Amino acid sequence: MTSADPAVLVLEDGTRYTGRAYGARGRTLGEAVFTTGMTGYQETLTDPSYAGQIVVQTAPHIGNTGVNDEDPESRRIWVAGYVVRDPSRVVSNFRAQRSLDDDLVDNGIVGISGIDTRALTRRIREVGALRAGVFSGDDACLDPEEQLAAVRAGRDMRGLNLSGEVSVAETQVTPAVVADGQQSLGALAVLDLGVKQATVNRLSERGFDVHVMPQSSTLADILAIEPVAVFYSNGPGDPEASGDHVELLQGVLREGLPFFGICFGNQLLGRALGFGTYKLPFGHRGINQPVLDKASGRIEITAHNHGFAVDAPVEGVVDSPAGFGRVEVSHVGLNDQVVEGLRALDVPAFSVQYHPEAAAGPHDSDYLFDRFRELVLARQASQGAQQ
C-alpha cells in the first residue's frame, strides 16, 4: 500500500535516493543488490541467500498478486531491506491471503518505494554492490551525515559467514516421494546453508529421504544417518569464510559419497577441490541468466542469486589442486564467462552455481536432480556388484 511517510536510501558512496516508506518503519543496513526477476517476489524475499542484503527489484510493479502461505521458500523473510518503484495499491489474485506490505511489516522489513530503481540499478552496475541503508519514520529525519556514518559502519559481505544465521537448529526430515511400488533410495544428507523448500521437494520427489541438517554438522553427524549421498545448499555469505564446511566436504569426498552442490555449494566444492573464489562486481540475481552446458552445447535459462564465484580454468581438464583427481568446468555463464558448474571426473561430485529448483524461474535445469539420482543409483549398483 502506498505510504506518504518519507524514507531515504543511502549508499556508502554518499548517493541518496528519497522516496516513501514501505513495510516496517525504522532503519536497516545491508549490501545493496538488484534482482532482475519479473515474477516471484515472495520466493525472492524468503530465499535465505538474500540474508544481509537490501534487495532492489528492477521490475517496477511489485505486490500486485499479494502473498500466500504456499509460496514461501523458508520459514521467514530474509532480506535486510526492500526497494521497489511502484508497490501495488491493491491485491488482485485468487491465491492471495494478504498484502505484501502486511508481510513486510509483520517481519520487520524496512523498505522504500517511489524511487528511480533503474537509476539505482545502473549505479550498482557501474560501481559494484555497495553497503547501504534504508531510513524511514523518525530515522528518515536524521542528519544525512549521521545516516551515511551508519551505512559505512555496516557489515561488508567480504569475509562474512552467515550460515549460522539461516540454518536449521535441528535436523528436519522430509520422506521420499515414492510410487508404483518403488522404494526410497535412502537417506540424503543436506547441509543447510540456506536451503529453499523447493530444493527439498525436488530431492524428495527423486526418491530421497531428505535430512536437512544444521550447518554445524560434523562428518560423524553425517555418517551417522548412513547417507547414500550428500548435498550442499545455496546460502549467503563469503565462501572464503566457510573453512569448516570446506573441510567437511573434503571428508565427504574422501568417503566416496556422491555429492551435489548448488550456488553456495558450488563455491564450496570449488574450494574443497583446491580452487579459489572471488567476489563479483554486482553478482548474478534473477531468473533469466543464460548458461551453457558444455557437454551438450545446450543453453539453459537459469535462476541465480550469488555474489561470489569460483576461480577455475574455463577450458580443458585440470588436476584438482587439493588432490581429488581431474576436474572440469561443466557450465559457463554466457553474459560474462563466469564458472557456473564443476564436475569431478575421478570422484562422484558435481555442482552448479545457479538454482535448478527455480522457484521462481524457468525449469530448464530440473534435469540436474535426475543426474544426481542417476549418480547415486550408479554407485549403489557398483557396490552391489562388489558384494
Q: Show which residues are catalytic.
A: 263, 355, 357
CA gap 312, 282 in Å, rounded: 19
Other CB atoms within 10 Å distance of the CB of residue 61 = 12
Report yes or no: 55 and 79 within 8 Å, Cβ to Cβ.
yes
**Biggest CA-to-CA distance, the chain:** 74
**Residue 211, exposed/middle/buried by CB under 10 A (0-12, 13-18, 19+)?**
buried
> CB neighbours of 145 closer than 8 A, spacing ≥ 6?
none
- Hey, which residues does 231 pair with through a beta bridge? 190, 260
Q: Which grid cell is 137?
A: 519514520
Q: Which grid cell is 61?
A: 510493479
The total number of residues shown for the chain amounts to 387
Report yes or no: 1 and 105 within 8 Å, Cβ to Cβ.
no
Tell me how far apart the terminal alpha carbons of the chain are, to the nearest angstrom: 65
Distances (CA, A) of 352 to 87, 89, 233, 244, 263: 34, 39, 11, 21, 6
Report yes or no: 208 and 167 within 8 Å, Cβ to Cβ.
no
Rounded to the nearest 5°, which phi and psi values hold at 150?
-65, -40
Q: Which residues of 86-99 are buried (b: 16+ CB within 10 A; e: fewer)?
A: bbbeebeeeeeeeb
